[in-house]
Amino acid sequence: MGKYNNMSWVLAFVGFMLLGGICKANGAIYNYDFVLREENFTKLCTTKSILTVNGSFPGPTITVRKGDTAFVNVHNQGLYGLTIHWHGVKNPRNPWSDGPENITQCPIPAGTNFTHEVIFSSEEGTLWWHAHSDWTRATVHGAIIILPALNTSYPFVTPDAQETLILGSWFKGDVNEIIEEALATGGDPNISDAFTINGEPGDLYDCSNETTYRWLVDYGKTYLLRVINAVMNEEHFFAIANHNLTVVAQDAAYIKPITTSYVMITPGQTMDILVTANQSPSHYYIASTSFVDGDVAFNNSTTTAILQYNGNYSAPSTIPLPNLPDHDDDTAAANFTTQVRALASEEHPISVPVNISHRLFITVSINERICPNSSCDGPDNNALAASLNNISFVTPSIDILQAYYGGINGVYTPNFPDKPPYFFNFTGLVQNNTIYPSFATKVKMIKYGKEVEIIFQGTSMIAAENHPMHLHGFSFYLVGTGSGNFNSTTSPKTYNLVDPPEVNTIGVPKKGWAAIRFVADNPGVWYMHCHLERHSSWGMNTVLIVRNGNTTETSILPPPAYMPPCSKS
Ligand SMILES: *[C@@H]1O[C@H](CO)[C@@H](O)[C@H](O)[C@H]1NC(C)=O
Ligand SMILES: *[C@@H]1O[C@H](CO)[C@@H](O)[C@H](O)[C@H]1NC(C)=O
Ligand SMILES: *[C@@H]1O[C@H](CO)[C@@H](O)[C@H](O)[C@H]1NC(C)=O
Ligand SMILES: *[C@@H]1O[C@H](CO)[C@@H](O)[C@H](O)[C@H]1NC(C)=O
Ligand SMILES: *[C@@H]1O[C@H](CO)[C@@H](O)[C@H](O)[C@H]1NC(C)=O
Ligand SMILES: *[C@@H]1O[C@H](CO)[C@@H](O)[C@H](O)[C@H]1NC(C)=O
Ligand SMILES: *[C@@H]1O[C@H](CO)[C@@H](O)[C@H](O)[C@H]1NC(C)=O
Ligand SMILES: *[C@@H]1O[C@H](CO)[C@@H](O)[C@H](O)[C@H]1NC(C)=O
Ligand SMILES: *[C@@H]1O[C@H](CO)[C@@H](O)[C@H](O)[C@H]1NC(C)=O
Ligand SMILES: *[C@@H]1O[C@H](CO)[C@@H](O)[C@H](O)[C@H]1NC(C)=O
Ligand SMILES: *[C@@H]1O[C@H](CO)[C@@H](O)[C@H](O)[C@H]1NC(C)=O
Ligand SMILES: *[C@@H]1O[C@H](CO)[C@@H](O)[C@H](O)[C@H]1NC(C)=O
Ligand SMILES: [Cu+2]
Provide the residue-wise pLDDT of the chain in tens; the chain has 569 residues: 333 344 444 444 444 434 433 444 568 999 999 999 999 999 999 999 999 999 999 999 999 999 999 999 999 999 999 999 999 999 999 999 999 999 999 999 999 999 999 999 999 999 999 999 999 999 999 999 999 999 999 999 999 999 999 999 999 999 999 999 999 999 999 999 999 999 999 999 999 999 999 999 999 999 999 999 999 999 999 999 999 999 999 999 999 999 999 999 999 999 999 999 999 999 999 999 999 988 899 999 999 999 999 999 999 999 999 999 999 999 999 999 999 999 999 999 999 999 999 999 999 999 999 988 778 999 989 999 999 999 999 999 999 999 999 999 999 999 999 999 999 999 998 667 789 999 999 999 999 999 999 999 999 999 999 999 999 999 999 999 999 999 999 999 999 999 999 999 999 999 999 999 999 999 999 999 999 999 999 999 999 999 999 999 999 999 999 999 998 64
Give dist(CA 303, CA 356) in Å, integer: 43
State if residue 485 touches ligand 9 by the CB under 6 angstroms criterion: yes
Q: Residue type at 554? A: T
- Are the CB atoms for 44 and 193 separated by under 8 Å? yes
Give dist(CA 441, CA 410) in Å, integer: 10
| Claim to verify: residue 138 and residue 170 sit in the same structural domain | no
Which atom of ligand 4 is least distant from the CA of 209?
1
Residues 6+ apart with CB under 8 A from 475: 88, 90, 122, 123, 251, 252, 253, 502, 503, 504, 518
State if residue 37 touches ligand 2 by the CB under 6 angstroms criterion: no
* CA 23 vs CA 19, 476, 491: distances in Å: 6, 17, 34
Beta-strand pair 358-369/383-388: antiparallel
Which of 7, 105, 112, 114 to mutate for ligand 3's pocket (most ligand atoms within 8 Å of CB)?
Answer: 112
DSSP structural state of residue 108: B
Whether 562 is in a domain gets the answer no
Which of 264, 326, 335 to mutate for ligand 7's pocket (most ligand atoms within 8 Å of CB)?
Answer: 335
**Distance from the alpha carbon of residue 467 to the mean position of ligand 13, in angstroms:** 4
Which residue, 326, 296, 352, 365, is CA-closest to 478? 352
| Claim to verify: residue 55 and residue 175 sit in the same structural domain | no
| Claim to verify: residue 377 and residue 485 sit in the same structural domain | yes
**Distance from the alpha carbon of residue 479 to the mean position of ligand 12, in angstroms:** 28
Whether 353 is in a domain gets the answer no
Q: How many domains does the chain have?
A: 3
State if residue 200 touches ligand 1 by the CB under 6 angstroms criterion: no
CATH number of the domain bearing residue 71: 2.60.40.420
| Claim to verify: residue 146 and residue 187 sit in the same structural domain | no
**Distance from the alpha carbon of residue 569 to the mean position of ligand 3, in angstroms:** 24
Q: Residue type at 177? A: E
Which residue, 332, 305, 48, is CA-closest to 172? 48
| Claim to verify: residue 450 and residue 402 sit in the same structural domain | yes
Give dist(CA 564, CA 569) in Å, integer: 15
Residues 6+ apart with CB under 8 A from 221: 160, 161, 276, 277
Residues 6+ apart with CB under 8 A from 546: 446, 447, 448, 473, 520, 521, 522, 523, 524, 526
Q: Whose CA is nearest to atom 8 of ligand 8?
A: 397
Give dist(CA 292, CA 300) in Å, integer: 9
**Distance from the alpha carbon of residue 245 to the mean position of ligand 5, in angstroms:** 9
| Claim to verify: residue 147 and residue 166 sit in the same structural domain | no
Whether 145 is in a domain gets the answer yes
Which atom of ligand 1 is least distant from the CA of 54?
1
pTM higher than 0.85: yes
Whether 157 is in a domain gets the answer no
DSSP 118-131: EE--S--EEEEEEE
| Claim to verify: residue 299 and residue 252 sit in the same structural domain | yes
Give dist(CA 371, CA 350) in Å, integer: 48
Q: Whose CA is nearest to atom 5 of ligand 10?
A: 424
Q: Whose CA is nearest to atom 1 of ligand 7?
A: 335
| Claim to verify: residue 198 and residue 143 sit in the same structural domain | no
Q: Which of 270, 303, 337 is the last residue of a domain?
A: 337
| Ligand 5 binding pocket, CB closer than 6 Å | 242, 244, 259
User: CB count, 10 Å around CB of 394?
Assistant: 13
| Claim to verify: residue 373 and residue 469 sit in the same structural domain | yes
| Claim to verify: residue 167 and residue 113 sit in the same structural domain | no
Whether 559 is in a domain gets the answer no
Residue 503, judged by CB atoms within 10 A of its CB (0-12, 13-18, 19+), counts as buried
| Claim to verify: residue 216 and residue 327 sit in the same structural domain | yes
| Claim to verify: residue 123 and residue 179 sit in the same structural domain | no
| Ligand 7 binding pocket, CB closer than 6 Å | 325, 329, 331-332, 335
Q: Which of 88, 118, 152 is the last residue of a domain?
A: 152
- What three-state secondary structure class fits 82? strand
- What three-state secondary structure class fits 435? helix
**Distance from the alpha carbon of residue 63 to the mean position of ligand 1, in angstroms:** 14
Whether 564 is in a domain gets the answer no
Whether 561 is in a domain gets the answer no
**Distance from the alpha carbon of residue 460 to the mean position of ligand 9, in angstroms:** 11
Q: Whose CA is nearest to atom 2 of ligand 9?
A: 428
Domain that holds residue 329: 162-337
Whether 566 is in a domain gets the answer no
Q: Which of 152, 172, 194 is the last residue of a domain?
A: 152
Q: Whose CA is nearest to atom 13 of ligand 12?
A: 550
- Are the CB atoms for 386 and 542 separated by under 8 Å? no
Which residue, 395, 416, 450, is CA-closest to 544? 416
